[in-house]
Amino acid sequence: MDKRMSGNVVLITGAAKGIGRGVAQVFASEGATVVIADLDEQAGRTTAAELCAAGGIVDFVSTDVTDQVSCQTAAATVIERQGRVDVLVSNAGIYPQAFLHEMTEADWDGIFAINVKGMFFMVTAVLPHMRQRRSGRIVLTSSVTGPVTGYPGWAHYGATKAAMLGFMRSAAIEVATEGVTINAVMPGNIMTEGMAGMGQDYIDALAASIPMKRLGEPEDIGHAMLFLASKVAGYITGQTIVVDGGQLLPEGVAAVG
């Protein structure tokens, strides 16, 4: 039986580690040719090699999403090597903690440069190609933090993730008649290298607030993105999917049990 993404070229930013790596693994397992675009060349090439060893078709292109020329070069390189880009997963992002009383202009500008401007640079780098082919899927990694919830120390992060959704809704309208869809996945708390660094007490407290009593895995985000990138989601654009184990459902702590 054919795999769901056979013949598709998928470009994923920030896929050397964390959620991006899980997304790359899911797409590769479904037959896509995956290109990891990341600033960390060593980690990116290592991930690409490991996914290839597991049977995937995975390449790497060095990319700094804060640099528009770098993003344009990455897109052009993928098109030159693979012939096209069918799917862009704009996933690159950071989430440093900074409380309001200590947050600096550099903190604010730095996170927006990667999370928002980096998304804009990559989307606009692939759009001319997708518009010309009249076919393309763009999937953004947003978050429940910002668009729906908040957490002390992540006001700047939450602002970037809400900004991504504002961009998505208007951008999706602009390309709606050109065969291109733009959607987003909003992860809850996902078990990544960064989450592991927060400590077990923090992780346990988060898990206790989630009806499924566990954090998600990066592959859980990948499966939602796979749906949005597939043919069956062709009439869906400008929408979001929350992947959080039910975290947003309870009215309060007592409802979780």
- Is 202 one of the annotated active-site residues of the chain? no
Here the tokens at position 234 are 């062709």
Helix, strand, or coil (residue 197)? coil
Distance from C-alpha of 197 to C-alpha of 105, rounded to nearest angstrom: 25
Catalytic option among 151, 157, 202, 235: 157
* Dihedral of alpha carbons 80, 15, 47, 8, sign: negative
Placement of tokens 């729906």 in the chain? 148
Q: Do 18 and 194 form a contact (C-beta atoms < 8 A)?
A: yes
User: Would you say 184 and 146 are in contact if contact means Cβ atoms under 8 Å apart?
Assistant: no
- What is the C-alpha separation between 93 and 140, in angstroms, rounded? 11
The catalytic residues are 157
